[in-house]
């Protein structure tokens, strides 16, 4: 359902606060490929959404009027899924292409993924 929205500009990610237990919604860049939604945290481990996701992986994803409750996972940089996240999101927003160096933003960002068919 969300895969058809891969070309949209923004995604809304709602996590549950690790301390407050309250929902936190952010607007975030994303990429979708092969049933997976990929995100990059420019704030790395320090981003609240990353900390919240590590504590409570259940998230809500909304793109346009479509939304789904799914589970997110923070990836280890350097892994194949992490590389896909960096390349996919950097290509969509920063014009990365194979053979070109990733943007400094993407190189320093922490990757995450969400399985769309979960």
Coil, helix or strand at residue 70? strand
Residue with tokens 């704030």: 43
Contacts for 15 with CB less than 8 Å, ≥ 6 apart: 23, 24, 26, 48, 49, 52, 53, 56, 59, 72
Domains and CATH numbers, the chain: 3-115 (2.30.110.10)
Model confidence band, residue 118 (pLDDT cutoffs 50, 70, 90): low
Residues 29-81 have pLDDT tens digits of 999 999 999 999 999 999 999 999 999 999 999 999 999 999 999 998 889 99
């Amino acid at each position: 359902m969300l895969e058809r929205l891969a070309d949209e500009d923004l995604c809304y990610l709602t996590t549950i606060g690790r301390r407050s237990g309250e929902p936190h919604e952010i607007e975030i860049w994303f990429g979708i490929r092969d049933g997976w939604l990929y995100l990059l945290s420019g704030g790395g481990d320090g981003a609240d959404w990353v900390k919240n996701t590590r504590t409570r992986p259940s998230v809500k994803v909304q793109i346009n009027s479509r939304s789904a409750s799914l589970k997110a996972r923070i990836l280890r940089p350097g892994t194949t899924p992490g590389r896909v996240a960096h390349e996919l999101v950097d290509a969509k927003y920063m014009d990365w292409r194979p053979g070109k160096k990733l943007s400094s933003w993407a190189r320093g960002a922490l990757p995450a993924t969400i399985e769309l068919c979960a």
